[in-house]
Amino acid sequence: MKSLRSGLRRSSQHNAAVRRYRTYNSFQRFQNTSSKSAQTSKSNSGSGGGYFKKALLTVLVPYSGYALYVIGQANAEITERERQVREHEDGKHFNATLVKYSPLEILGRFANPFKEYRVLTAFEFSLNRVLELFQRNRGGIPTSRRSMSELMPIHTPTWTNEESQLHLNIGEELTVEILSPDRALASNTSRDSQPDLPVYTTWLGQSCNFVIYNGFKILTDPIFTDYLIHESLGPKRITEMPAQIHQVPTPDVILVSHNHPDHLDFRSMEYWGANGDSRPLWIVPKGMAEFMKDHDVDNVIELSWWETAQIKKADSIYNVSCTPAMHWSGRSLVDTNRSLWCSFLFSHYSKPIMFHAGDTGYVWDLFKRISNRFGRGVKLALLPCGQYCPSWHQKPRHINPEEVLKIKMDLEAQHVLGVHWGTFVLSGEYFREPKEKLEMLAEWEGVEDSCYCPELGKTVTIK
């Protein structure tokens, strides 16, 4: 019996030892597995961290360094130019204007010579994109199509109320001469005795306008696609196009203020390019002709700030003058600011008819200097009044409704139409706010009849 109890005790001890051994082995295997997982995780983490560091080293850090260098160089040049202007005999004279606001290039790229401008850093761009992710129903776009049509009525363009204006001098060849900034514009001594001709303008969305004056047809910043980046990518139009591209009368001249996708699309270049049925004259800022020719547009001329294309059609002389704007250019990081950006002033002989601002921030004396050079009282100013929120991000590159009224005063413009809104959602404000705010401010100032936002496709006659 005693030997039986002794055997049972030894058997129990043996089983306990076996259990302890198995438990130890399981624990060891768990430790080894955990250690390998940790090493793998650490390796992967290190790899991810490596990619992040490479991205910083190859893109963000060099770009930030470049931005800081541009800021320093631009500020030094602006300070020197302001010193020269103060020493000029007449600081408001056009020679002083050329000193202060001539194109500025740094490291082979254009920069803004305005103290009001702030270079867009990679950090600011990224921060604003992150903040946009938290915005619900950005732009306040109604989900109902009926509600949208009531808020944004669309008309079928008539282009002009005089049918003869559409067919006047069709097929007449244009003769073009480029005038340097110091050349005087052609004038007509008898122009004061001529009738004050009307301007017909049709807003087609964003900054795309079809303008007719004395039978001379101008198209500004053409965009006839539903998507910005690609035929099926990028921000989509929130409204329908009032006219398809084939329904637009052939312009004599197409003015492009800069190469951003919401101011120039590939469809327009294809339709009015070298392979199109008609080939109007394209006028673009300096440095942009190469981009146009890469997309089969060869009937193109470049203008730098203050240069003028003097165009003769039939027995009339028209001038398209390239004027400064505070903005930037580029369709990717690679070509950022490789070409200039601008506004345009169209005149008949030396009489200012139409100002197309493109995209611009507000500069306190720029538009006064433009009117000093080309004449006060432009008949029609097409000014962008949207894409201004958030202000800390947009202000250096776009104007708001309050600044539209300031430019109206600076130019002494007879009529102002607010454009560059209600087409794409590119900023944080309610999509109708630019119109409502501009027209409210215009009413307060007592200029509601001459300063407002047009309706899509509705042809407006400026007498």
What's the pLDDT score for residue 161?
83
What's the pLDDT score for residue 194?
61
What's the average model confidence in pLDDT over 238-253?
Answer: 96
Q: What are the b/e assignments for 173-188, b being 16+ CB within 10 Å?
A: ebeeeebebeeebbee
Q: How is residue 375 written in tokens?
A: 């004449």
Q: What is the domain partition of the chain in residue ranges?
A: 157-462
- Between 65 and 135, whose confidence is greater? 65
What's the pLDDT score for residue 56?
53
Q: Taking the model in full, what pTM does it have?
A: 0.86
Q: Which long-range contacts (CB under 8 A, 24 or more apart) does 187-194 make?
A: 187/349, 187/350, 188/317, 188/349, 188/350, 191/348, 191/349, 191/350, 191/351
What's the pLDDT score for residue 17?
45
CA distance 434 to 249: 29
The residue ranges of DSSP E strands in 12-75, in sequence order, are none
pLDDT, one tens digit per residue, over 187-214 is 765 545 567 899 999 999 999 999 999 9
pLDDT band of 6, cuts 50, 70, 90: very low
Question: Residue 27: is its pLDDT beyond 90?
Answer: no
Q: How far is CA 99 from the centre of its chain?
A: 26
Question: Residue 277: is its pLDDT beyond 50?
Answer: yes
What's the pLDDT score for residue 51?
61
What's the pLDDT score for residue 46?
45
pLDDT, one tens digit per residue, over 313-366 is 988 999 999 999 999 999 987 899 999 999 999 999 889 999 999 999 999 999
Which percentage of the chain shows pLDDT scores above 70? 83
Question: Residue 8: is its pLDDT beyond 50?
Answer: no
Answer for the pair 424, 262: CB distance below 8 angstroms, yes or no. Answer: yes
Q: Which long-range contacts (CB under 8 A, 24 or more apart) does 240-244 make?
A: 240/154, 241/204, 241/205, 242/154, 242/155, 242/156, 242/157, 242/202, 242/204, 242/205, 242/456, 242/457, 243/156, 243/157, 243/204, 243/457
CATH (residue range 157-462): 3.60.15.10
- β-pairing verdict for 415-419 and 208-213: unpaired
What's the average model confidence in pLDDT over 120-126?
Answer: 73
Question: Residue 82: is its pLDDT beyond 60?
Answer: yes
What's the pLDDT score for residue 356?
98
Q: What is the DSSP letter of 57?
A: I
Using DSSP's 3-state secondary structure scheme, residue 171 falls into coil
CA distance 79 to 436: 39
What's the pLDDT score for residue 55?
55
Answer for the pair 328, 341: CB distance below 8 angstroms, yes or no. Answer: yes
CA distance 394 to 116: 12
Question: Residue 87: is its pLDDT beyond 70?
Answer: yes
